[in-house]
Chain A
Amino acid sequence: MKGVVFNYLAEMVEEGFGLEAWDSILQTTGLTGNYIASETYPDEELMALVDAAHDKTGIDKRDLVRSFGKYILPNFREQNPQFFEAHNDLKSFLLSVDQMIHIEVRKLHPDAALPEFEYQDKDDSEFTMYYSSPRKLCFLAEGLIEASAEHFGTKYELEHPECMHDGAERCALKIRLLD
């Protein structure tokens, strides 16, 4: 994972729970917290920080990661407005994540830890994003999708019928658009 992700996590925790919360999370994990945005750090450190944040705040880990996704997206948008400007609706934006956005990310950061998405259309208003990644950050994806929907002003329902955390090979993120 890139240092930028850790820094967003620190920001989110500091903004939501105060400096002390982040400080204590670092203390319990024994990590220095000296993350540089462009550097790469072990995925396990992120997991350890999420675990510690859960212990500290008592918030469900899935919710924590989901909020993290929600928190990150506006930052991504600020850094890369062009990825959003290219789309008028949520669906076409989400379809571009795997085929376009992450491909561009990979060009700048060849060692970026990115997931894979496969798409399946059911009909005009329903499609499924199949998520797979060794990091099992499917709830991050849920949060990112939620914030994206907010950006496009789209109402939707999300189901997560298959999940890697339940032993599935990949996660199914079923999205139904509500007019």
Chain B
Amino acid sequence: MNLEVLKRAYEREKARRKKAESLLEDKSRELYLSYQELEQSHQQLKKTLKNQEKQQAELTRLISTYTSVKDDLELAAKLQSDLLPDPVETDTHAAYGYFQPAKFVAGDAFDFYMLSDSVFAFYIIDVEGHGTASAMTSFAIHSQLNPKSDGICKRNLLKYQNHSEAVCATVTDLNNTFYNPESKNKYFTMIYGMLDLTNGRITWCQAGHPALTLYTNNKSVELGNGGFPVGVLNEPGYESLQHELQPGDRLALYSDGITECYNQAEGLFGKERLDSILRHHSSTDPKHSIRAVREALFTWNQSSEFTDDVTLLLIDFKRFL
């Protein structure tokens, strides 16, 4: 056989082998690179997965925090409404309250109680803002003014016979407690008053709160005005006011959540509207008056959620003790 032919066949085989080897190398490199890519995306995937797990855990934590906060708020709201006094109806006097918190818990509060056999005390407060922080303040005030706990009310009860001195001292003491120029304490408006059932004399101190309104013979008159809110000034110099009630007279105390209730089309509910409803119902049962105000207010608000707390307190003086 021709040697040249064999040589060429050999060269062909050699060339094919070399080509095959380099192809194999290329393929191995490709394989290696795609392995690396795979490894990278695997790592990336692992990271993403971990992040997702973290986010999931965070979410679970947030949900449980939210749930416990919500539970706390609901509990606080329950406590707060438990603190409100039951209506009072005696031969000499009657007292009814209406309370509608803006959120779960409110900054508004009121209370009334007998300080002695013949002295009926009452107050209404409106802590700036509403929500949890305001509610905490109103809780604190409530315990200070509870005659059964060792607070301002009990101390002054022992200290003062004179009602004027007593109401002024009580509000001033609250101011001393809550005024703190260093910290951003919540301030509040209030009326603290006492009704002497033997002679019908009311003595009260007004601290920036809407004035007490007297309903007598289907007429209304605002008693007093002004005073600084509690917790704003170091020495606001509170003064007391007095008025002699006649049997059949009614006192109304309210928070600005009523008068400032806003309706898109017609604006604020206003003092006049409240006054005219109360005047219209002034000789009926206080329960009816409250229901009338509540209905008018819900209609005005156009929703069952209020932007501010709503409080109304009606006190009837029926006869001398």
* Neighbouring B residues of A39 by C-beta, 8 Å: 23
- Over the window 101-120 of chain B, the binary record of Cβ atoms lying under 8 Å from chain A Cβ atoms (1 yes, 0 no) is 00000000000000000000
Tell me if B287 counts as interface (CB < 8 A to partner A): no
B5 contacts A23, CB within 8 Å?
yes
Size category of the A interface is: 10 to 19
1-16 of chain B: CB within 8 A of chain A? 1-2, 5-6, 8-9, 12, 15-16
* Neighbouring A residues of B5 by C-beta, 8 Å: 19-20, 23
Tell me if A33 counts as interface (CB < 8 A to partner B): yes
* Neighbouring A residues of B8 by C-beta, 8 Å: 23, 26
33-52 of chain A: CB within 8 A of chain B? 33-36, 38-39
Contact of B12 among A20, A33, A38 (CB under 8 A): A33
Tell me if A88 counts as interface (CB < 8 A to partner B): no
Tell me if A82 counts as interface (CB < 8 A to partner B): no
Size category of the B interface is: 10 to 19
- Over the window 5-36 of chain A, the binary record of Cβ atoms lying under 8 Å from chain B Cβ atoms (1 yes, 0 no) is 00000000000000110010010000011111
* Neighbouring B residues of A38 by C-beta, 8 Å: 23
Q: Tell me the complex Cα distance, A19–B20, Å.
A: 22
Q: Tell me the complex Cα distance, A109–B20, Å.
A: 17
Nearest-neighbour CB distance to chain A for B277, whole angstroms, equals 86
Nearest-neighbour CB distance to chain A for B20, whole angstroms, equals 5
Nearest-neighbour CB distance to chain A for B240, whole angstroms, equals 100
* Neighbouring A residues of B16 by C-beta, 8 Å: 34-36
* Neighbouring A residues of B20 by C-beta, 8 Å: 36
Chain A positions within 8 Å of B, measured between CB atoms, are 19-20, 23, 26, 32-36, 38-39
| 10 interchain pairs, CB-CB under 8 A | A19-B1, A19-B5, A19-B6, A19-B9, A20-B1, A20-B2, A32-B15, A34-B12, A34-B19, A39-B23
